[in-house]
Structure 1
Amino acid sequence: MVKFRNSIIFKVISIIVVSQLIIWFWLITSIKDAQREILNSLNTQQKEFVIKFIEEQKQKTIKKTLESLKKLIKYSQAALSYSLFNYEEGSAKKIISDVLLEEKSIKAVEVYDTVGKSIFISAYKKDGKKIFTKNKLPKNFEKYKYIKTELIYNSEPIGFVKIYYDLSPILKHLEEIQQKELELVNLKFEKIYKETQKKEKKLFVYFIIAAIFTLLFLLFILIKFINIPLMKIKAGLERFFNFLSDPKQKIEPIDIDTNDEFGEIAKFTNQGISVSSKLHRELAELVDVIDKNIMICEFDENGNVIEVTTAFMKVCGYSKDEINNKRKEVLCNVDLKKIIKTVEKEGNWNGEVKCKTKYGKELWLKSNITKKCSYENNSCRYINILFNVTDKKELEKLKNHLEELVEIKTSKIKQLLNMTKESIRYASLIQKAILPSHGIFKKAFKDYLIIWEPKDVLGGDIYFLDEVRDGEYILMLADCTGHGVHGALMTMLVKAIQIQIINELSHTNKEISTSKILSKFNKSIKEILKQYDKDSNSNAGFDGAIIYYDKNKNIIKFSSANLPLFFIKDNNVDVIRGDKSSVGDVFTPIDYKFKEFEMKIHDELKLYLTTDGFLDQIGGEKELPFGKERFKKLILKYQNLDFIMQKEMFLEELKKYQKDNPRTDDIAVIGLKL
Structure 2
Amino acid sequence: MNPIQKTHSGELAFSILENIEALVLVADKRGHIIYCSPSILRLLKVEYEDVLGLQWWNLTRVDPETQRQEIEGIKKIIAGTIPLNRTPYTKSILDKNGNEYWIQWQDALGPDDTLIGVGQNVTEYFHSQKIIETQRAQLKRLSLVAEKADNVILILDKDGNIEWLSRRFEILNNLKLTDLVEKMGSTNIVNVSNNPDISKILERVKTEKIPFSYESKNHNVDYEAWAISTISPIFDDNNEIVNLIIIDMDVTERKIAEKIIQDKNKDITDSINYARRIQRSTLPHMKDITAAFPQSFILFKPKDIVSGDFYFFHKGHDHIFIAAADCTGHGVPGALMSMVGAAKLTEAVSKSNDPSEILALLNKGIKSALKQTEEGELARDGMDIALCSVDIKRNVIHFSGANRPLWIIRKGSTTVEEVKGQKKSIGGSTDDSYPFEEHKIKYKKGDTFYIFTDGYADQFSKSSGKKLLTKKFKEILKNNCAKSMAEQKAYLEEFIENWKQGAEQVDDILVIGIRL
TM class, shorter-chain normalised?
Answer: 0.5 to 0.7
Note the 1:60-99 alignment, pairs <5 A.
Answer: none
Note the 1:227-242 alignment, pairs <5 A.
Answer: 238-239=16-17, 242=20
Note the 1:191-202 alignment, pairs <5 A.
Answer: none
For 1:244, the equivalent position in structure 2 comes to 22
Q: Deviations over 1:204-242 (max 9, x none)?
A: xxxxxxxxxxxxxxxxxxxxxxxxxxxxxxx99942665
Change (3 A) 1:491 1:248: farther
For 1:640, the equivalent position in structure 2 comes to 482
One of 569, 576, 580 as aligned partner of 2:423: 580
Instruction: Note the aligned Cα RMSD (angstroms).
Output: 4.4
One of 516, 539, 542 as aligned partner of 2:380: 539
Amino acid at match of 1:435: L
How high is the sequence identity, in percent, across the aligned residues? 27
Please say if residues 414 and 479 of structure 2, whose CA atoms lie closer than 8 Å, have aligned partners that are also in contact. no
What is the CA–CA distance in structure 2 between the aligned matches of 1:531 and 1:634, rounded to whole Å? 39
How far residue 649 of structure 1 moved from its aligned partner, in angstroms, is 1.8
For 1:22, the equivalent position in structure 2 comes to none
Question: Quick check: 1:279 aligned with 2:121?
Answer: no
How far residue 289 of structure 1 moved from its aligned partner, in angstroms, is 5.2
How far residue 492 of structure 1 moved from its aligned partner, in angstroms, is 0.8
How far residue 285 of structure 1 moved from its aligned partner, in angstroms, is 5.7
For 1:560, the equivalent position in structure 2 comes to 401
For 1:40, the equivalent position in structure 2 comes to none
How far residue 585 of structure 1 moved from its aligned partner, in angstroms, is 1.8
One of 255, 264, 272 as aligned partner of 1:416: 264
Change (3 A) 1:631 1:290: closer
How far residue 599 of structure 1 moved from its aligned partner, in angstroms, is 2.4
How far residue 270 of structure 1 moved from its aligned partner, in angstroms, is 6.9
For 1:483, the equivalent position in structure 2 comes to 330
One of 276, 287, 292 as aligned partner of 1:439: 287
SS at 1:618's partner residue?
coil
Amino acid at match of 1:529: L
Question: Quick check: 1:571 aligned with 2:414?
Answer: yes
Question: Quick check: 1:253 aligned with 2:38?
Answer: yes
How far residue 294 of structure 1 moved from its aligned partner, in angstroms, is 8.1
Please say if residues 228 and 251 of structure 2, whose CA atoms lie closer than 8 Å, have aligned partners that are also in contact. no
How far residue 401 of structure 1 moved from its aligned partner, in angstroms, is 8.7
Please say if residues 383 and 425 of structure 2, whose CA atoms lie closer than 8 Å, have aligned partners that are also in contact. yes
For 1:72, the equivalent position in structure 2 comes to none
How far residue 626 of structure 1 moved from its aligned partner, in angstroms, is 2.4
What is the CA–CA distance in structure 2 between the aligned matches of 1:479 and 1:489, rounded to whole Å? 12
Note the 1:398-417 alignment, pairs <5 A.
Answer: 402-417=250-265
Amino acid at match of 1:519: A
Note the 1:101-112 alignment, pairs <5 A.
Answer: none
One of 257, 276, 297 as aligned partner of 1:449: 297
How far residue 593 of structure 1 moved from its aligned partner, in angstroms, is 1.6
Change (3 A) 1:271 1:577: farther
Please say if residues 619 and 625 of structure 1, whose CA atoms lie closer than 8 Å, have aligned partners that are also in contact. yes
Please say if residues 247 and 277 of structure 1, whose CA atoms lie closer than 8 Å, have aligned partners that are also in contact. no
How far residue 271 of structure 1 moved from its aligned partner, in angstroms, is 8.2
SS at 1:547's partner residue?
strand
How far residue 484 of structure 1 moved from its aligned partner, in angstroms, is 1.0
Change (3 A) 1:578 1:272: farther
Please say if residues 615 and 625 of structure 1, whose CA atoms lie closer than 8 Å, have aligned partners that are also in contact. yes
TM-score, with length taken from structure 2? 0.56
Amino acid at match of 2:312: F
What is the CA–CA distance in structure 2 between the aligned matches of 1:468 and 1:272, rounded to whole Å? 118
Please say if residues 479 and 611 of structure 1, whose CA atoms lie closer than 8 Å, have aligned partners that are also in contact. yes
Q: Deviations over 1:570-595 (max 9, x none)?
A: 43110000211100122x11111211
Change (3 A) 1:486 1:238: farther
Amino acid at match of 2:482: N
For 1:460, the equivalent position in structure 2 comes to 308
Change (3 A) 1:416 1:620: closer
Please say if residues 449 and 643 of structure 1, whose CA atoms lie closer than 8 Å, have aligned partners that are also in contact. yes
What is the CA–CA distance in structure 2 between the aligned matches of 1:554 and 1:644, rounded to whole Å? 23
How far residue 555 of structure 1 moved from its aligned partner, in angstroms, is 2.4
How far residue 641 of structure 1 moved from its aligned partner, in angstroms, is 0.6
TM-score, with length taken from structure 1? 0.44
Change (3 A) 1:292 1:565: closer
Change (3 A) 1:252 1:413: same
Please say if residues 236 and 253 of structure 1, whose CA atoms lie closer than 8 Å, have aligned partners that are also in contact. no
Note the 1:139-538 alignment, pairs <5 A.
Answer: 238-239=16-17, 242=20, 244=22, 250-253=35-38, 278-281=101-104, 283=123, 350-351=161-162, 402-469=250-317, 472-502=319-349, 504-505=350-351, 512-532=353-373, 535-538=376-379
How far residue 279 of structure 1 moved from its aligned partner, in angstroms, is 3.0
What is the CA–CA distance in structure 2 between the aligned matches of 1:491 and 1:423, rounded to whole Å? 17
What is the CA–CA distance in structure 2 between the aligned matches of 1:488 and 1:457, rounded to whole Å? 9
What is the CA–CA distance in structure 2 between the aligned matches of 1:454 and 1:277, rounded to whole Å? 77
SS at 1:641's partner residue?
coil
What is the CA–CA distance in structure 1 between the aligned matches of 2:484 and 2:129, rounded to whole Å? 91
Please say if residues 611 and 668 of structure 1, whose CA atoms lie closer than 8 Å, have aligned partners that are also in contact. yes
For 1:667, the equivalent position in structure 2 comes to 509
Question: Quick check: 1:610 aligned with 2:483?
Answer: no
Amino acid at match of 1:577: K
What is the CA–CA distance in structure 2 between the aligned matches of 1:290 and 1:555, rounded to whole Å? 95
Please say if residues 415 and 478 of structure 2, whose CA atoms lie closer than 8 Å, have aligned partners that are also in contact. yes
Structure 1: any 5+ residue segments left out of the alignment? 1-234, 255-265, 296-310, 316-347, 355-361, 370-395, 506-510
Change (3 A) 1:545 1:278: closer
SS at 2:38's partner residue?
coil
SS at 2:444's partner residue?
coil
Q: Deviations over 1:62-119 (max 9, x none)?
A: xxxxxxxxxxxxxxxxxxxxxxxxxxxxxxxxxxxxxxxxxxxxxxxxxxxxxxxxxx
For 2:84, the equivalent position in structure 1 comes to none
How far residue 546 of structure 1 moved from its aligned partner, in angstroms, is 1.1
Please say if residues 619 and 659 of structure 1, whose CA atoms lie closer than 8 Å, have aligned partners that are also in contact. yes
Amino acid at match of 1:239: L
Change (3 A) 1:238 1:466: farther
What is the CA–CA distance in structure 1 between the aligned matches of 2:14 and 2:358, rounded to whole Å? 114
Structure 2: any 5+ residue segments left out of the alignment? 1-12, 28-34, 49-93, 105-121, 145-158, 166-174, 188-226, 230-246
Change (3 A) 1:248 1:519: farther
Q: Deviations over 1:519-573 (max 9, x none)?
A: 1110011111111278422001100011112323332211110110000134311
What is the CA–CA distance in structure 2 between the aligned matches of 1:441 and 1:562, rounded to whole Å? 24
Please say if residues 253 and 270 of structure 1, whose CA atoms lie closer than 8 Å, have aligned partners that are also in contact. no
What is the CA–CA distance in structure 2 between the aligned matches of 1:413 and 1:272, rounded to whole Å? 80
| Residue-pair matches, total | 341
How far residue 419 of structure 1 moved from its aligned partner, in angstroms, is 1.3
How far residue 251 of structure 1 moved from its aligned partner, in angstroms, is 3.5
How far residue 363 of structure 1 moved from its aligned partner, in angstroms, is 8.7
Please say if residues 323 and 451 of structure 2, whose CA atoms lie closer than 8 Å, have aligned partners that are also in contact. no
